[in-house]
Structure 1
Amino acid sequence: MATSFNEQFDQHGTWRREFALRLKLLAEWLKDHELLDAGVEERLLRLETQLRSDKVMVAFVAEFSRGKSEMINALFFAGYGRRIMPASAGRTTMCPTEMGYDADVPPCLRLLPIETRLQPQALMEWRMAPEKWARIDLDVNNPMQLAKALEKVAETRKVTQDEARALGFWHAQAPEDNPMVDAQGMVEVPRWRHALINIAHPLLKQGLVILDTPGLNAIGAEPELTVSLIPQAHAVVFMLGADTGVTKSDLSIWREHLITESTDPDARLVVLNKIDTLWDALSTPAQIQTQIDRQRTSTADILGIPKERVIAVSAQKGLVAKVTEDDVLLRQSCLPVLEDVLGHGMMGKRQKILASAMKGGITDLRGETGRVINIRKRDLTEQMLELQSLQGKNANVIKHMRNRISQEQAEFDQGGAKIHAVRSVHLRLLRDVFNILGASVLKKEMALLSDTLLQKGLKLGVKRAYSETFDRLRGNLQRVQSLCAEIQSMLEASFTSLNAEYGFSLQPPVEPDMARFSADVDTVERNHLQYLGLGNAFKLAQPEFADRLVRALSTRLRNIHEAALADVELWSKSAAAQLDAQLRERRRNFARRIEAIDRISQAAGGLEDRINEINQQSNALNEMDAKLMELTSYLVAAQQSAKPATKVDVELV
């Protein structure tokens, strides 16, 4: 039987834990041997944070009644022996629902009232205000209580048409998409805007995040879903009904929210659910399979994807099979096929990306630390040559040697002004970078765009305003790149001069590349373009929707700027830490040389003793170098074992 997604995710979690442990051992060893300077410590911290906080998000997207919640039950929660997510007939999950794990938060369900849509704050801002959410504690050991509590995500309330319009659920220009009006003139809307479920499920504890989205009307009314959450998901499972195929509303979701120029095709899976509706006692298994294959082919043609990306399953039968341990029914449900594709394809790809990032960080860290060990080796070699030159010499020669070392030390200390000048220019240029990528510049850009969007009536010039905003943002990143290049040139010249004058071995770290952040900005722009066409002109005419759109955009762009700043800061710290480390080692070297001369002048046997000590220290440094190579080689090699080598993985990755 194919390896399940759960098993693949367990393997990914095991690899992360083992890697984190090895990383911790490396940090302790570096600290014990005084090799943990600011640059190396920053790299270790970033690697540890990235490893610990790495999340894998699987988003389930579909119209109502396609079986998303049942699929989530079958894939992730069958171990409870019952349904956990509400999955009865008709509409179930009425609001976007995120399931994850945060150790700092007790097991609970948090619900954001739908009325918050009437206020300007973006969804990300509401996350920072937990007191505004309704909270229900969860007992993860009581499946019945858990399932009962989660039924609240299906709650609705009745409002007037005007209220529905204000909340984003009623559009006069698209009456076919509006909810039904009852005898009293009221319409039904979701009670909650967003739900967060925090439980210590084994997969969630390892970093899995599950996003369940509730239909076209809800997706279109919440910009953060389509411009932030869904685009950043590592896998999007788009669900259709095997009995209905691709409907008009299904096609709208696919074209408007799931396919853009930046979409990674391997991150999109189409699932034809409910194949059990095609199981017919009057048809042979071969005839049933022919119907299913025909639906897969038709679906692939309509959506413009390879047939291999369309998987036909029965989530309901898969769940029943897992609960009753019916292997025959499980195979008939085809659920293991989907699990295999999700597990090997998505997890293999995600683990490969993470492992590659770890490898790059460890390789840079080894280079920086190795330089410090080499400096110590070189200093010992110089001391050895210096002491060997004193063998057989009288006290006057030894005294002259001490005076010469003292003079070298004094000249080195006087050269501190030059080193300080390097730092000053470096910091001045960095301030310009920080100003460009700072919050105030982005806030100003978003305010200009917001002013355009909040003008009354149809926003005919909104595309041009968007284009100009993103052009300026890309221009800012280009300016940052130019400043980084200027800083890099200054560092190279300064380091070359210091290396020649003081015998340092300074090597500027590779300057940060803003191209990938510019590509991220391009992606965000493309994700937003779907809202600027004529089809959304009436939505944009609503001030509250336009405001939410800009706030969602601000959140995404702020994350990009913060990531770019983090790269610049790491680059800066690495350069400064190198300089600090070599200054520190040189000062220690002067102190050791003077101490050795003083010991030699005070004791006849001091010279040979010191030479023996240096030999021992040299051997210890060679052992330290070998140990560094051993510790880091394991971490670099770990990425080779991170990727499961399977046929499915090769196809998807």
Structure 2
Amino acid sequence: MSFIQALDQHGAWRKQFALRLKLLSEWLIDHELMEPGVRERLDQLHAQVKNDKITVAFVAEFSRGKSELINAVFFAGYGRRIMPASAGRTTMCPTELAYDAELPPCLRLLPIETRLQPQSLLDWRNAPNKWERVDLDVNDPKQLAKAIHKVAEVRRVPVDEARALGFWHDEIPEDNPLPGADGLVEVPRWRHALINMAHPLLKQGLVILDTPGLNAIGAEPELTVSLLPQAHAVVFILAADAGVTKSDLGIWRQHLGSLGDGQASRLVVLNKIDTLWDALSSPEQVQLQIAAQRADSAEILGVPMDQVLAVSAQKGLLAKVNRDDELLKASQLLDLEHALGDRLLAQRRRILSAAVSAGVDALRGEAGRMVRARLRDLVEQIQELDGLRGKNAGVIKQMRLRIEQEQADFDASGAKIQAVRSVHLRLLKDLFALLSPSHLKAEVAALAKQLKSPGIKLGVRRAYDHTFDRLREDLDKADRMAGEIQSMLEGSFKSLNAEYGFSLQAPSGPQLAAYRKDLDLIEKSHLQYLSLGNALRLAQPEFAERLARALMSRLRVVYDTAVNEVELWNKSAAAQLDAQLRERRRNFTRRIEAVSRIQQAASGLDERIRELQAQQAALNQLEAKFGELTEQLMAASEDEPADEALVA
């Protein structure tokens, strides 16, 4: 299955699952089961499936055919090049292609001058008025290609300005661009580009990250410590005739070799194999050359050979446009698409399926407890009324007085329940403080100060180690605090269950220690900048400032995610308690109404018991139906998409 077919299937699965969620939501509303806790779980599930993104980053030195490969894999349907792929330098700034239904088709460009200001790239994303916007006509390939070509624009600036922007290094002259006769040097006009368009693949959640060459990557730390590590797959492109050059190896070692353990999500592509097609060489000899280059590249980069593929992006694009199956086969482009589909989407589907299954299980627990609480109340009412058979009016009156007294006692117990809430919230306040932006900023302050200090930073590695050790200690402490709160919650729920007959069950606590892995990956991605080879670059105040901002931005994402998990846990516990309190108050009202009807008519007792028994039977059917619907939802999270009929 090609990548495009696999992505289509993944998109169909997401749509099918979203439809099942919508039907379940309507069913829960119809049967008055849509309590806040249940709605929270449904909203979370819907957001997980709807907002799931699959990011593929393309990384290469200049002139490796990276943009052409993107055209061939994703945009051949336009019948022409969409990404700029002419000779020489093309994409000069990191470019993201994605789809947001709330925005019109457009290209947004962040001026390169924003590097001189203190905001991080994440901050600039939240300031849309600072970006230059160009509207796109997705139905006009010519206009689309012309507009997107702006990502290749450059400016000519004095050396001092290039130095301030991070494109000129006095200490590393061999990496500097060549000045023109006028003394000016060429730098990218834009710092970052965002393309929003309703391409079928982008609408299904694909995000394409196109990165420029080594100098531009190194000048934007946020790209290498944030965007690349979060990509689900990285396609590293080499030239088939040259193999792994010194600059290619520099990109790999500095920016890709530290992306963590997910090496299966990294593919190496030897592009331009058509340059090896030689009329004086037989097809067998050409294939031997390609195989030798693959083996050499795999050995140098330290990856399995099956992760190194050889293609001709230009011939593959031409073959797709001209519908030339023979040329397409020779280009070997489909081998790359199959590898992307098999490695990336299969892995992403497993991760999403596991998350969705856990969410469905939590949803089943939330709504299931509510149904069982109603069933228990009905059984108690039936038993209570059945005990009145043959009793006189005085006994019935005493029963009403007893129910009213129980209701009064229950209302008076609100102080105890509120005390449980208060203790819970006080402990949570301490936990949130430990994960707050202000606490994070304080923990990173010493490191940020050292990074921004002038000159060679000899002790910066030690400062990094100390900072990340403290952050890991913070997460461990937060995890212990969450465990203590969980134990308190379980004890409080157990006490309330025994005293008031509730069926409360504490939701699973947050696993905050798991975020240590995210910290490890961030630390590892930064270590490349602390080597002796980068000492001179790190000595530059502007670069060190950008590195500090990138670090803080990435850490903030991890802490925000942890806080969101704690908030969901807290809301789930509170919503469950609120739901059972409401059910208990409704139960008191129904019991008093039943006794009142019996007092007013002698035949009311049998009639009310029959009504309750009918409600009990209906509720049993409701519970069975809910179990059936959630079983189907659970199965849908694991099955391949199919055209099966949905259960209404």
Pair in the same fold by TM > 0.5: yes
User: How far off its partner does 1:633 sit?
Assistant: 1.3
- 2:553 maps to 555
The reply to whether residue 85 of structure 1 matches residue 74 of structure 2 is no
- 1:650 maps to none
Structure 2 unaligned segments of length 5 or more: list them: 643-648
Q: Single out whichever of 236-245 and 567-576 deviates more from structure 2.
A: 567-576
Q: 2:467 aligns with which of 449, 466, 469?
A: 469
- 1:566 maps to 564
Structure 2 residue matching 1:531: 3-state secondary structure:
helix
Q: Single out whichever of 312-321 and 191-200 deviates more from structure 2.
A: 191-200
- 2:99 maps to 101
Q: 1:391 aligns with which of 389, 392, 407?
A: 389
Instruction: Please tell me whether the aligned partners of residues 155 and 188 of structure 2 are also in contact (alpha carbons under 8 angstroms).
Output: yes
Deviation per residue, 1:500-533 (Å, 9 max, x gap): 1111111111111112112111111111111111
Alignment of 1:54-93 (within 5 A): 54-93=52-91
Letter in 2 for 1:606: G
User: How far off its partner does 1:155 sit?
Assistant: 1.4
- 1:174 maps to 172
Alignment of 1:199-278 (within 5 A): 199-260=197-258, 262-278=260-276
- 1:331 maps to 329
| TM-score between the two structures when normalised by the length of structure 2 | 0.97
The reply to whether residue 285 of structure 1 matches residue 283 of structure 2 is yes
- 1:370 maps to 368
User: How far off its partner does 1:4 sit?
Assistant: 2.2
Structure 1 residue matching 2:388: 3-state secondary structure:
coil
Instruction: Please tell me whether the aligned partners of residues 352 and 643 of structure 1 are also in contact (alpha carbons under 8 angstroms).
Output: no
Alignment of 1:492-503 (within 5 A): 492-503=490-501
Instruction: Please tell me whether the aligned partners of residues 355 and 642 of structure 1 are also in contact (alpha carbons under 8 angstroms).
Output: no
| TM-score between the two structures when normalised by the length of structure 1 | 0.96
Instruction: Please tell me whether the aligned partners of residues 12 and 641 of structure 2 are also in contact (alpha carbons under 8 angstroms).
Output: no
Distance in 2 (alpha carbons) for counterparts of 1:518 and 1:643: 35
The reply to whether residue 184 of structure 1 matches residue 179 of structure 2 is no
The reply to whether residue 534 of structure 1 matches residue 549 of structure 2 is no
Deviation per residue, 1:422-478 (Å, 9 max, x gap): 001001111111111112112223333221111121111111111121122122212
Distance in 2 (alpha carbons) for counterparts of 1:260 and 1:429: 38
Instruction: Please tell me whether the aligned partners of residues 95 and 151 of structure 2 are also in contact (alpha carbons under 8 angstroms).
Output: yes
- 1:517 maps to 515
Deviation per residue, 1:344-388 (Å, 9 max, x gap): 221111122112111100111101110111111111111111111
Letter in 2 for 1:52: K
Q: Single out whichever of 366-375 and 443-452 deviates more from structure 2.
A: 443-452
Instruction: Please tell me whether the aligned partners of residues 160 and 185 of structure 1 are also in contact (alpha carbons under 8 angstroms).
Output: yes
Q: Single out whichever of 223-232 and 408-417 deviates more from structure 2.
A: 408-417
User: How far off its partner does 1:642 sit?
Assistant: 4.2
Deviation per residue, 1:82-117 (Å, 9 max, x gap): 011111111111111111111222111111222222
Q: Single out whichever of 565-574 and 233-242 deviates more from structure 2.
A: 565-574
- 2:421 maps to 423
Q: Single out whichever of 443-452 and 295-304 deviates more from structure 2.
A: 443-452
Deviation per residue, 1:3-52 (Å, 9 max, x gap): 32112111111111111111122122222222222222211111112222
User: How far off its partner does 1:261 sit?
Assistant: 6.6
- 1:356 maps to 354
Distance in 1 (alpha carbons) for counterparts of 2:459 and 2:40: 45
Q: 2:112 aligns with which of 114, 117, 123?
A: 114
Distance in 2 (alpha carbons) for counterparts of 1:127 and 1:570: 26
Q: Single out whichever of 67-76 and 474-483 deviates more from structure 2.
A: 474-483
Please identify runs of 4+ aligned residues in structure 1 that moved more than 3 A: none
Q: Single out whichever of 596-605 and 473-482 deviates more from structure 2.
A: 473-482
Structure 1 unaligned segments of length 5 or more: list them: 645-653
- 1:151 maps to 149
Structure 2 residue matching 1:559: 3-state secondary structure:
helix
Deviation per residue, 1:574-625 (Å, 9 max, x gap): 1111211111111111111111111111111111111111111011111111
Instruction: Please tell me whether the aligned partners of residues 60 and 237 of structure 1 are also in contact (alpha carbons under 8 angstroms).
Output: yes
Alignment of 1:468-487 (within 5 A): 468-487=466-485
Query: Quick one: percent identity of the two aligned structures?
Result: 66
User: How far off its partner does 1:139 sit?
Assistant: 0.9
Distance in 2 (alpha carbons) for counterparts of 1:197 and 1:527: 26
Distance in 2 (alpha carbons) for counterparts of 1:416 and 1:187: 73
Letter in 1 for 2:90: T
Letter in 1 for 2:50: R
Deviation per residue, 1:178-203 (Å, 9 max, x gap): 11222222222212111111111111
Instruction: Please tell me whether the aligned partners of residues 352 and 639 of structure 1 are also in contact (alpha carbons under 8 angstroms).
Output: no
Alignment of 1:11-26 (within 5 A): 11-26=9-24
Q: Single out whichever of 382-391 and 313-322 deviates more from structure 2.
A: 382-391
Alignment of 1:414-453 (within 5 A): 414-453=412-451
Distance in 1 (alpha carbons) for counterparts of 2:408 and 2:181: 94
Deviation per residue, 1:36-79 (Å, 9 max, x gap): 22222211111112222111110000000000000000000000
Instruction: Pick closer, same or farther for the CA change 1:261–1:319 going to 2, 3 Å.
Output: closer
Q: Single out whichever of 257-266 and 523-532 deviates more from structure 2.
A: 257-266
Instruction: Pick closer, same or farther for the CA change 1:520–1:221 going to 2, 3 Å.
Output: same
Instruction: Please tell me whether the aligned partners of residues 95 and 193 of structure 1 are also in contact (alpha carbons under 8 angstroms).
Output: yes
Deviation per residue, 1:537-581 (Å, 9 max, x gap): 112111111111111111111111111111111111111112111
Distance in 2 (alpha carbons) for counterparts of 1:484 and 1:38: 23
Letter in 1 for 2:43: L
Instruction: Please tell me whether the aligned partners of residues 123 and 224 of structure 1 are also in contact (alpha carbons under 8 angstroms).
Output: yes
Instruction: Please tell me whether the aligned partners of residues 39 and 570 of structure 1 are also in contact (alpha carbons under 8 angstroms).
Output: no
Q: Single out whichever of 237-246 and 597-606 deviates more from structure 2.
A: 597-606
Report the RMSD for the aligned CA atoms in angstroms: 1.4
Instruction: Please tell me whether the aligned partners of residues 352 and 642 of structure 1 are also in contact (alpha carbons under 8 angstroms).
Output: no
Instruction: Please tell me whether the aligned partners of residues 371 and 623 of structure 2 are also in contact (alpha carbons under 8 angstroms).
Output: yes
Distance in 2 (alpha carbons) for counterparts of 1:39 and 1:467: 41
Structure 1 residue matching 2:371: 3-state secondary structure:
helix
Structure 2 residue matching 1:245: 3-state secondary structure:
coil
Deviation per residue, 1:144-176 (Å, 9 max, x gap): 111111111111222222222211111222222
Letter in 2 for 1:33: H
Instruction: Please tell me whether the aligned partners of residues 16 and 641 of structure 2 are also in contact (alpha carbons under 8 angstroms).
Output: no
Distance in 1 (alpha carbons) for counterparts of 2:130 and 2:594: 68
- 1:343 maps to 341
- 1:636 maps to 634
Structure 2 residue matching 1:486: 3-state secondary structure:
helix
Instruction: Please tell me whether the aligned partners of residues 312 and 331 of structure 2 are also in contact (alpha carbons under 8 angstroms).
Output: yes
Letter in 2 for 1:575: A
Q: 1:614 aligns with which of 612, 615, 638?
A: 612
Deviation per residue, 1:318-365 (Å, 9 max, x gap): 000000000000000000110011112211111221121111001111
- 1:459 maps to 457
- 2:646 maps to none
Letter in 1 for 2:451: L
Number of corresponding residues: 642
Q: 1:578 aligns with which of 544, 566, 576?
A: 576
Distance in 1 (alpha carbons) for counterparts of 2:175 and 2:190: 20
